[in-house]
Amino acid sequence: MITGGYYGYMIIGGLLSLVGMFVSSRLKSKFRKYSQMPNTSNMTGAEVADAMLRHYGISDVQIKQGRGVLTDHYNPASKTVSLSPEVFQGRSIAAAAVAAHECGHAVQHATAYSMLQLRSRLVPLVQISATAQQWLLLIAFMTLSSMPQIMLITIVAFGVTTLFSFITLPVEFDASKRALAWLDSSQVAVGQAHEGAKDALWWAAMTYVSAALSALVMLLYLVLRFSAANND
């Protein structure tokens, strides 16, 4: 029964990995598609971000151009919206959607959105757990029969990162909801442009869903191994 459970979790994990690759591929495809379509207002991503922040009366958040592709993020610690060059300079639906989404996080921060606050408080612990995981995992499997306590510590570390992944989901969905509402009300993206922004942000959110489910499967697999070792 235990062995069957191993294979079951391995199969599910493999399937989720495939789903993750598919979602990532679709996101890149959608971003390319909507990067070729102008937004309704013809504003750059940087201009969209500035307009959205001003609309919500947020004056202490800096907008800067980052590097790479799809590296856009909001940093609550430095109150910075970092936009990749294609988003910062772009006048497309994709640029507007991504810029507004990241500003959605800034609005969450300014309004003390509870899930963002919880996520931010977990960041230091998650950083420690994520760094320790790779070493703990190796040691845990090597010492599973003689020192099952190491596996228990590993489970706790993976539990922290899994919890973080699931807390991230409402934060991301809420930021997209705020972004889409503002894009529509401000006339930055309406009609077909708004539908395109919604489509792009939906696929972006699915990458977080896929990551959370994969983390959960790994956690359950480790719990199963720990349980099996204690029952031997």
- pLDDT at site 1: 40
Which carries the bigger pLDDT value, residue 4 or residue 162?
A: 162
Give residue 205's pLDDT.
Answer: 94
**What does the domain layout of the chain look like in residue ranges?**
2-231
For the ranges 11-20, 106-115, 208-217, 219-228, the lowest mean pLDDT is seen at: 11-20
Look at residue 117 and give its three-state secondary structure: helix
What number is the average pLDDT over the span 45-73?
96
Q: What is the pLDDT of residue 42?
A: 94
Verify whether residue 102 is a known catalytic residue. yes
Identified catalytic residue from 47, 102, 172, 195: 102
pLDDT for res 174: 98
Q: Which stretch of 81-95, 182-196, 213-227 has the lowest confidence by average pLDDT?
A: 213-227
pTM of the model: 0.89
The pLDDT of 86-100, averaged and rounded, is 97
Average pLDDT, the chain: 91
151 pLDDT more than 70: yes
Is-contact 180 195, C-beta < 8 A? Answer: no
The CA distance from 119 to 132, in Å, is 19
Residues 175/108, Cβ–Cβ less than 8 Å: yes
Checking if the pLDDT of 13 tops 80, the result is no
Q: What is the arithmetic mean of pLDDT over 169-192?
A: 97
Q: What is the pLDDT of residue 4?
A: 47
Residue 9's pLDDT is what? Answer: 58
45: Cβ contacts below 8 Å, ≥ 6 apart: 83, 87, 88, 89, 90, 95, 96, 98, 99
Q: How far apart are CA 210 and CA 55, in angstroms?
A: 33
Q: Is the pLDDT of residue 123 over 70?
A: yes
Question: What is the reported pLDDT for 232?
Answer: 60
Asked whether the predicted pLDDT for residue 112 surpasses 70, the reply is yes
Looking at residue 197, its pLDDT comes to 97
The answer to whether 93 touches 189, Cβ cutoff 8 Å, is yes
Q: State the average pLDDT over residues 172-182.
A: 98
Lowest mean pLDDT among 14-28, 72-86, 103-117, 203-217: 14-28
